[in-house]
């Protein structure tokens, strides 16, 4: 375990918050983790403990007073086929998009729609990342974890992960207990593309029309997804951000009708009010739409702002933003959506 004291976390969070931790502990294998905890050396480290990936879903609100752990377990390897499924294992510290690229290059269908999502494979298993109609849970078979209670490596089957929308057992009842060390992904040899989300099908068609006679491959879909993402989302390497800052609120249908009536009374009877059926009489309203309706799209103030092309993304516009500035903007947006729409926005980004 490589341990550093009073360590800057600026490179370890995509928002680019210039904060530090008292202690930073990096490790390269699951065995190293087990050996470290079994020897009792964790008692020498300051608490609380926090495990991070690449910090792309985190907002550090201040210096972290304890120990931040980070996995440098990086590998992708093929496993023997099982039940007719092609299987691979990837280390938790592997860059997630490297996994998607590997799958696309090897002709495996299933990870291509998840291309370009920042972060590491271990966090993908915690977050149940999703995009363009696909979710991590669609391709995972099992998750290998260090169990802090038994001080051993444990296999958690997909069903035990209790995956939901950007949710898992690792974020709920087992939070703090498990450190993901690797994940097993499985792919069906006959699986095909999932194009029925947003503009994906139309963009894929444009590409295919330009290369007649060429069969559609995961590589082609991956490149379309990367292009779509690139045109809509800020690259954290250039503009600090943590992706979608707020969750999409789910409200009872009659409440949605009230919001829709409000918007149509203001802008006309044909004004589009986007929503998705969330089942059991509930409707999901895109938080981006609510934020835009309340006038925040493209807003900027000091070092922070709301991304012009996607109002769900708050940005560290100058690279010099302090946590208080992001928090102040979050508070203003939440208050205005509450006042105007009567809806309480809840942050998607984890505040540390």
Ligand X SMILES: Cc1cc2nc3c(=O)[nH]c(=O)nc-3n(C[C@H](O)[C@H](O)[C@H](O)COP(=O)(O)OP(=O)(O)OC[C@H]3O[C@@H](n4cnc5c(N)ncnc54)[C@H](O)[C@@H]3O)c2cc1C
Q: Is residue 58 near ligand X by the rule CB under 6 A?
A: yes
Helix (H) or strand (E) holding 125: helix 121-127
Degrees to nearest 5, angle at CA 151 with 145 and 156: 25
Could you please report the per-residue DSSP string of 293-331? Answer: HTT-TT-EETTEEE-SS-TTEEEESSS---HHHHHHHHH
Out of 25, 27, 54, 99, point to the residue binding ligand X (CB under 6 A). 54
Q: Is 36 helix (H, G, I), strand (E, B) or coil?
A: helix
Asked if 296 contacts 333 with a C-beta cutoff of 8 angstroms, the reply is yes
- The yes-or-no answer on residue 8 being catalytic is no
Degrees to nearest 5, angle at CA 14 with 12 and 18: 65
String of contacts with ligand X for each residue 199-238, x by CB under 6 A: ----------------------------------x--x--
Shortest reach from residue 240's CB to ligand X, in Å: 9
Out of 16, 110, 119, 305, point to the residue binding ligand X (CB under 6 A). 119
Out of 9, 111, 126, 329, point to the residue binding ligand X (CB under 6 A). 126
Give whichever of 55 and 323 is closer to ligand X, judged by the CB atom.
55
Asked if 229 contacts 267 with a C-beta cutoff of 8 angstroms, the reply is no
Give whichever of 42 and 336 is closer to ligand X, judged by the CB atom.
42
- The yes-or-no answer on residue 32 being catalytic is no
Could you please report the per-residue DSSP string of 67-98? Answer: EEEEE----EEEEEEETTEEEEEEETTSBHHH
Q: Distance between CA atoms of 234 and 123, rounded to whole angstroms?
A: 20
String of contacts with ligand X for each residue 231-250, x by CB under 6 A: --x--x----xxx-------
Out of 33, 68, 88, 92, point to the residue binding ligand X (CB under 6 A). 92
Shortest reach from residue 127's CB to ligand X, in Å: 4
Give whichever of 258 and 309 is closer to ligand X, judged by the CB atom.
309
Cis amide leading into 48 (omega within 30): yes
Return all residues near 286 (Cβ < 8 A) that are at least 6 apart: 248, 274, 275, 312
Shortest reach from residue 264's CB to ligand X, in Å: 30
Q: Distance between CA atoms of 317 and 300, rounded to whole angstroms?
A: 8
Structure tokens at 209: 């029309």
Out of 19, 25, 33, 52, point to the residue binding ligand X (CB under 6 A). 52
Out of 117, 185, 204, 225, point to the residue binding ligand X (CB under 6 A). 117
Helix (H) or strand (E) holding 243: strand 240-244
Give whichever of 51 and 275 is closer to ligand X, judged by the CB atom.
51
Q: Is residue 71 near ligand X by the rule CB under 6 A?
A: yes
Q: Is residue 16 near ligand X by the rule CB under 6 A?
A: no
Q: Is 338 helix (H, G, I), strand (E, B) or coil?
A: helix
String of contacts with ligand X for each residue 164-183, x by CB under 6 A: --x---x--------xx---
Q: Taking the CA atoms of the chain, what radius of gyration do you get in angstroms? A: 21
Q: Distance between CA atoms of 318 and 23, rounded to whole angstroms?
A: 28
Out of 110, 118, 193, 323, point to the residue binding ligand X (CB under 6 A). 118
- Which of 166, 186, 222, 325 is catalytic? The answer is 166
Give me the half-sphere count of Cα atoms (radius 13 Å) on the Cβ side of residue 61: 7
Give whichever of 92 and 273 is closer to ligand X, judged by the CB atom.
92
Q: Is residue 14 near ligand X by the rule CB under 6 A?
A: yes
Q: Is residue 56 near ligand X by the rule CB under 6 A?
A: yes
Out of 120, 138, 186, 325, point to the residue binding ligand X (CB under 6 A). 120
Q: Any idea which residues carry the catalytic annotation?
A: 166, 244, 348
By CB under 6 A, name the binding residues for ligand X: 14, 51-58, 71, 92, 117-120, 122-124, 126-127, 129-131, 166, 170, 179-180, 233, 236, 241-243, 350
């Amino acid at each position: 375990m490589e341990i550093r004291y009073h360590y800057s976390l600026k490179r370890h969070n995509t928002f680019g918050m210039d904060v530090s931790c008292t202690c930073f502990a990096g490790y390269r294998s699951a065995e190293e983790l087990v050996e470290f905890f079994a020897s009792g050396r964790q008692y020498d480290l300051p608490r609380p403990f926090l495990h991070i990936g690449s910090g792309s879903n985190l907002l550090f609100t201040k210096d972290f007073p304890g120990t931040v752990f980070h996995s440098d377990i990086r590998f992708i390897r093929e496993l023997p086929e099982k039940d007719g499924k092609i299987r691979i294992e990837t280390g938790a510290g592997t860059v997630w998009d490297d996994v998607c690229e590997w799958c696309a290059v090897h002709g495996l269908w299933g990870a291509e729609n998840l291309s370009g999502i920042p972060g590491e494979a271990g966090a993908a298993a915690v977050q149940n990342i999703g995009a363009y109609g696909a979710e991590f849970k669609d391709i995972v078979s099992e998750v290998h974890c260090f169990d802090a209670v038994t001080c051993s490596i444990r296999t958690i089957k997909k069903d035990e992960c209790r995956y939901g929308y950007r949710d898992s057992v690792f974020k709920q009842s087992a939070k703090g207990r498990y450190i993901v060390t690797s994940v097993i992904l499985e792919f069906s040899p006959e699986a095909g593309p999932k194009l029925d989300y947003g503009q994906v099908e139309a963009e894929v068609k444009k590409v295919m029309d330009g290369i007649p006679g060429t069969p559609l491959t995961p590589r082609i879909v991956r490149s379309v997804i990367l292009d779509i993402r690139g045109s809509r989302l800020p690259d954290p390497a250039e503009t600090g951000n943590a992706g979608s800052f707020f969750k999409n609120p789910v409200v009872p249908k009659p409440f949605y009708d009230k919001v829709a009536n409000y918007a149509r009374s203001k802008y006309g009877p044909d004004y589009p009010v986007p929503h998705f059926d969330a089942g059991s009489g509930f409707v999901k309203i895109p938080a981006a739409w609510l934020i835009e309706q309340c006038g925040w799209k493209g807003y900027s103030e000091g070092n922070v702002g709301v991304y012009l092309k996607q109002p769900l993304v708050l940005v560290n516009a100058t690279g010099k933003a302090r946590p208080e500035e992001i928090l102040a903007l979050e508070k203003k947006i939440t208050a205005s959506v509450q006042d105007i729409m009567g809806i309480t926005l809840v942050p998607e980004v984890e505040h540390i």
